[in-house]
Structure 1
Amino acid sequence: MMSLVHGRAALSATHSSGHDAPALVTLRDVHLSYGDAAVLRGIDLTVRRNQAVSIIGPSGSGKSTILRCINGLIAPKRGEVRVGGVDVGALKRDDEKIALRKRIGFVFQQYNLFPHLSALQNLTIAPMRVLGASRAEAEHTAHALLAKVQLADKAGAYPGELSGGQQQRVAIARALAMQPELILFDEVTSALDPQTVGEVLNVIGELVDEGLTCVLVTHEMRFAEDISDRVAYTEGGVIVEEGAPEQIFHAPRDEHTRRFLDSTQSRARRTRSSLKLASIPS
């Protein structure tokens, strides 16, 4: 994991990933409710080009809902969401929403691959149908992306023949095939076993090092600390605290943030202990 830290540090020294970079995503006073249940209660968030921003917090705190507001899957009841200058809430026609989603990759917790299509076909279908790429062009790009996520030998494999970590890497490659300006990762390691989590995190870390703008909802605290330019802690539908990763993880200002990080560290220690015990021969 240290290689990710060094890679991100080197990028920051040469790349406009800091506060001077233009904003690609802005959320201002975003509210969302389902019936009487408030999910988002005044979210303000800025993601600048070439930044990696991680959103952390307990389950039900609104993290995934923020991602869905960014790409227009959900419309907030109040507030403004902008992506690259586009007012997401003002998009009413399907063609307008499709144009926005061409610019935004989304990788979900569940892989959502087409089970009847090979890995290669999963990567080529959208570029051919949505971007108008030729089959030869789409397949050339798909092979390059499968190699990028270390699955060059799995082009002909179907999702059912792949491990969970391999399926998630195909899903990442599929998102990249649309050449997005921004990619959203929603708890992409939650459904994976511990042995395959690292495979997926390494791929994401490489994308961040290359300067792809990313917003990540994650429960992998060490990973979030290593790769992020900014970290936002959410609870109860609000961003309780936001800052540089070293500040959030090592000197949190809010008591809610401190309690959450203490609890996640305790769970991580218990998990490591359980894994060690499980590896001891009986």
Structure 2
Amino acid sequence: MMTLIDGRAAPADAEADSAPHVSVRLRDVHLSYGETAVLRGIDLDVRRNQAVSIIGPSGSGKSTILRCINGLTAPQRGEVRVDGIDVTALTKDEERIALRKRIGFVFQQYNLFPHLTALENLVIAPVRVLGISRAEAEHAAHALLAKVKLADKAHAYPGELSGGQQQRVAIARALAMQPELILFDEVTSALDPQTVGEVLNVIGQLVDDGLTCVLVTHEMRFAEDISDRVVFTEGGVVVEEGSPQQLFHAPRDERTRRFLDGASGRVRRTRSRSSGASSLSLVSTSS
């Protein structure tokens, strides 16, 4: 049975401490909906302060992997651990809440509260869930809005913001919970090309800051530039994984090569992770 320490779930056994730098570990994860197999034996490791991008065709199980990591979806078989916590063993609401306090999740849709300003969207959860004082939460919220280049939009409502601005508020809202890990699920898929770059620049800065990130993305050039490792999934399995250089320029599996050959409209983030300001440009070319 999982126990809580300071409101957080404690590791179930000593094995969880055997790889102290691994933040996320999936082993032989299977999940089906009826007769449809979505995940068919997923293995995945994400180390702390690492950015891992998951790429692959639609329906390959990418988003389901993210939902298994934060406990929104329970696999029928296999092991999911986050910082040693056995996610599949969490049966109590307070255990799941304790886990999700540590994991930020940014979805395809912004899911902002339409009746609250950008500032209030950031303040509400830290005050109600974390018990932070309103003054402290507002101070942090203003700093986060400045971080995502929206300091002047604190009192704007979601309906007054562009799609890219709303997604940046959603990212800031996830950061307001002070997560140790953040999951991004195709966060640019609902955006027009003019606003994709502004969102990816924000994510790039978070990676440069050392936040542990798992990204499901169709922006191949961005994934190549930003990631420590890239995972290619197809048909509910990990076909291939490796460094961005290896996977994008010397893929070992024919299925990976076919997918990359067919990818287009990619985004290049024209910076190195150790450099200064970043910018993005759309390119339409295959790897």
> Shorter-chain TM-score: what band?
0.7 to 0.9
Secondary structure of the 1:24 match is: strand
RMSD value, Cα: 1.4
User: What is the rounded CA distance, in whole Å, between the counterparts of 1:118 and 1:98 in structure 2?
Assistant: 25
Cα distance in structure 2, aligned partners of 1:215 and 1:176: 14
TM-score using structure 1 length = 0.87
Deviations 1:124-161 (A, max 9, x none): 00000000001100000000000000000000000000
CA separation of 1:95 and 1:193: change in aligned 2, threshold 3 A? same
Counterpart of 1:83, as a letter, is: V
Q: Deviations over 1:141-184 (max 9, x none)?
A: 00000000000000000000000000000000000000000000
Match runs of 1:118-267 below 5 Å: 118-265=117-264
In 2, Cα distance between equivalents of 1:21 and 1:32: 27
Give me the whole-angstrom Cα distance separating, in 2, the residues matched to 1:257 and 1:244: 14
Q: Does the CA contact (< 8 Å) of 2:103 and 2:180 recur in 1?
A: yes
Contact conserved, 2:221 with 2:266, CA < 8 A, in 1? no
Q: TM-score, normalised by structure 2?
A: 0.86
Higher helix share: 1
Match in the other structure for 2:15? none
Q: Secondary structure at the match of 1:59?
A: coil
**Across the two proteins, how many residue pairs are aligned to each other?**
252
Please tell me the residue identity of whatever aligns with 1:125: I
The unaligned stretches of length 5 or more in structure 2 are 1-18, 268-281
Alignment of 1:31-180 (within 5 A): 31-180=30-179
Amino-acid identity (%): 83
**Which residue in the other structure is 1:15 paired with?**
none
Q: Aligned partners of 2:124 and 2:80: how far apart in 1?
A: 29
Distance 2:95 2:224 in 1: 35
* Unpaired segments ≥5 residues, structure 1: 1-19, 274-282
Residues 21/50 of structure 1: CA separation in 2 closer, same or farther (3 Å cut): farther
Please say if residues 220 and 266 of structure 2, whose CA atoms lie closer than 8 Å, have aligned partners that are also in contact: no
| Offset at residue 43 of structure 1 (A) | 0.2
| Matches of 1:137 and 1:190, distance apart in 2 | 33
- For 2:147 and 2:82, the matched residues in 1 are separated by 27
- Partner Cα separation in structure 1 for residue 152 and residue 244 of structure 2: 37
CA deviations 1:78-130 (Å, max 9, x no partner) are: 00000011000000011100000000000000000000000000000000000
Task: Tell me: higher relative CO, structure 1 or 2? Use CA pairs within 8 A at least 6 residues apart.
Answer: 1
Q: Which amino acid aligns with 2:103?
A: I
SS at match of 1:41: strand
Letter in 2 for 1:132: G
Q: Distance in 2 between matches of 1:160 and 1:151?
A: 15
- Superposed displacement of residue 268, structure 1: 5.3
- The residue type equivalent to 1:44 in the other structure is D
1:169-216 per-residue CA deviation (whole Å, 9 max, x = no partner) reads: 000000000000000000000000000000000000000001000000
